[in-house]
Chains A and B, each alone.
Chain A
Amino acid sequence: GAGVSQTPSNKVTEKGKYVELRCDPISGHTALYWYRQSLGQGPEFLIYFQGTGAADDSGLPNDRFFAVRPEGSVSTLKIQRTERGDSAVYLCASSGTGYTGELFFGEGSRLTVL
């Protein structure tokens, strides 16, 4: 695609429910990143994929958060037993092979946990 696509753009759920957020990176980009941005804050790193494998998942806050990228393209961020504190904008970014430093971000998925 022309840019990084994220769905849904908005998700409202109840505490305790399961949520999946999807990211479709720029075609051909091998690296994919998930960040989380709370209101008034800068984005915080969650996880980074190089191809199909998670190269660095040190930013995942706890074991309720999990992400996959089974075919090295689309990625899904999965949140179990959602809590109100999970409410944030979840941003996805991708970059091409031979990392140049430039990340291309999607517009994010805004998650609200009631």
Chain B
Amino acid sequence: KQEVTQIPAALSVPEGENLVLNCSFTDSAIYNLQWFRQDPGKGLTSLLLIQSSQREQTSGRLNASLDKSSGRSTLYIAASQPGDSATYLCAVGSSNTGKLIFGQGTTLQVKP
């Protein structure tokens, strides 16, 4: 059974700092891996999608990497801003159906 873990559960950093969020999964036979952002009381917004054949994806200040063999993904946020404050969720897809297994999330606070 696939399990997804995110560490740390919470993180507080000063504005401008570069940071890394970690995600690990137990079964390396994945179809894809996605990073989502969730603001309080809101739904999920897809940030980056990495297919199983890819090693990384980039969008603006965000870069996500995937290492299937070690069961790990990282989300790198450059030059963090207070507007980046949110919960970041990692989710693993094991097939092409959209059925995802989520981690518990990392709640990020970026202080001005």
Within 8 Å CB of B99, what residues of A? 33, 45, 48, 56, 59
Q: Is the CB of A41 within 8 A of B104?
A: yes
Considering the complex, which residues of chain B in the window 96-112 have a beta carbon less than 8 Å from any beta carbon of chain A? 96-105
Q: Is the CB of A102 within 8 A of B49?
A: yes
**In the assembly, what is the distance between CA of A42 and CA of B32, in Å?**
17
Is B91's beta carbon under 8 Å from chain A? yes
Q: Is the CB of B43 within 8 A of A103?
A: no
Within 8 Å CB of B34, what residues of A? 101-103
**In the assembly, what is the distance between CA of A105 and CA of B34, in Å?**
13
Total A residues in contact with B, Cβ cutoff 8 Å: 28
Q: Is the CB of A101 within 8 A of B32?
A: yes
Q: Which 8 A-B pairs have the closest CB atoms?
A: A42-B102, A105-B43, A105-B44, A107-B43, A101-B32, A101-B49, A42-B104, A43-B102
Chain B positions within 8 Å of A, measured between CB atoms, are 4, 6, 31-32, 34, 36, 41-46, 49, 51, 89, 91, 93, 96-105
Chain A positions within 8 Å of B, measured between CB atoms, are 4, 31, 33, 35, 40-45, 48, 50, 55-56, 59, 91, 93, 95, 99-108
